[in-house]
Amino acid sequence: MLTNVSIVKGTRDPDERQIKKMVEKAVTLVGGFEKVFSHGEKVLIKPNIAYLVKPGETEPTDPRVARAVYDLLSDVGAIPIIGESSSAWVDDEKAFKAAGYFDLREHGYKVVTMKGSETITVEIPGGVALKRVKVHKLAIEVDSFLSLPVIKTHDHDVATLSLKNMKGLMPDSEKKNFHKKYGLFQAIADLNLVFRPKFSVVDGIFCREGMGYPWSEEIEMDLILAGEDPVAVDAITMMIMGLDPKKQKHGSLAAKQGIGTNDIDNIHVVGNSIDEVKRKFKTAEEVIAKEPILKKINIISDEKTCTGCRGMMHYFLKRASELGKLDRLRKYTFVLGDHQKLPDLDKENTLLIGVCTEKYSSLGRYVPGCPPLSRALMEELKEVFG
């Protein structure tokens, strides 16, 4: 049976009234909220508010899109709540304020920052890497979820979108475990076995391409996408971005686990066509390949090293450069990816990055993770970063 995904193209730089019409049209084209949500159903609207952005930057989900979704859910008698827990090490109170979400709260919308709130451990039946997970209690107090991501590429996978957006249900400790303990891609798929969004609305007004924030670049697309299948919504979004849906690792794993489909033959696009709106996005991998900063440091890697580890390394070096520490890293060798053999290395000054290098962990300083967070590498190099 075909699953529907809608694409709605708006006018350039749409105002709040126009955005609401776009969201309403996108939702109506796939059957409307009344088909999916019941009167009195508590729905957690999960935007993506990962970072503390500077005034005028557009990395988080546009609060105007969140407001439109909230209003439409209220119209069918559902009880919406906007909730999120920002990225590890990010103060979500400051992130919400900077993104404009506290303005919604002042107008009577229920907006919840989850960091610091009570957590509970939930079993994941059928999970491959993730057998149980700690989530904020709000995640089990609601009846369903609506994922509200932004169109953007990412340094850990080609694009994040609806499925990865559900990571914000967890406390920082679990977000870190997705990298250093479980393996990011399989863990995202496993998480969606239990916390699968019942509906996804994608904010494609102002999008981001290239490396993850703060080094990504803004693209105005003026799009809204919607659908009940988060895997299918991600797949169509990626095609709009000029990317192969099968290369979104967590999306392909989620499809194998029956969470949804990324088979284009099983997806019916309604509204605008993909060809009418698509634009090739620069991926993190493409940016990294041209980045001169990587040539200034001793890195043992090859073309088989995954985007996740290469993206993390790029992010780490960019941050080191901003802090004035790049020259102090020249004495170190960083090993990324799976290698059959390594040259003789200075054990004290060799950093083995990620699970693929674990078999060589006795040859240097091992930083686990799939991929590790750049902060973990900074913590290992305390003699440089303090």
Residue ranges of the domains in the chain?
3-283, 291-385
pTM: 0.84
- Which residue is associated with the tokens 């008698």? 77
Q: What share of the chain is helix, strand, coil (3-state, %, to 5)?
A: 40, 20, 35
Q: What is the pLDDT of residue 294?
A: 67
Segment 162-173 shows an average pLDDT of 95
**Alpha-carbon gap, residue 57 to 352, rounded angstroms:** 35
- Give pLDDT tens digits for 230-250: 999 999 999 999 999 998 999
Average pLDDT over residues 85-91: 87
In DSSP notation, 39-72 reads TT-EEEEEE---S-PPTT---SPPHHHHHHHHHH
pLDDT digits (tens, 9 = 90+) for 265-283: 999 999 999 999 999 999 8
All residues at 6 or more sequence positions from 216 whose CB lies less than 8 Å from its CB, including other chains: 59, 152, 153, 208, 209, 210
What are the Cα distances from residue 77, in Å, to 20, 41, 172, 198, 313?
A: 18, 8, 33, 16, 47
- DSSP 3-state assignment of 269? strand
Residues written for the chain: 386
CATH class of 3-283: alpha beta
What is the bridge-based pairing of β-strands 350-353 and 333-336? Answer: parallel
Alpha helices (H) in the chain, listed in sequence order: 16-29, 63-75, 92-99, 101-106, 138-141, 161-164, 172-177, 184-194, 230-240, 249-256, 274-277, 284-289, 307-322, 374-380, 382-385
pLDDT of 290 above 80: no
Helices (H) and strands (E) in the chain, counts: 15, 15
Query: Quick one: pLDDT band at residue 315, thresholds 50, 70, 90?
Result: confident
Provide the pLDDT for residue 158: 84
In contact, 314 and 329? CB cutoff 8 Å: no
Interval 355-371 mean pLDDT: 92
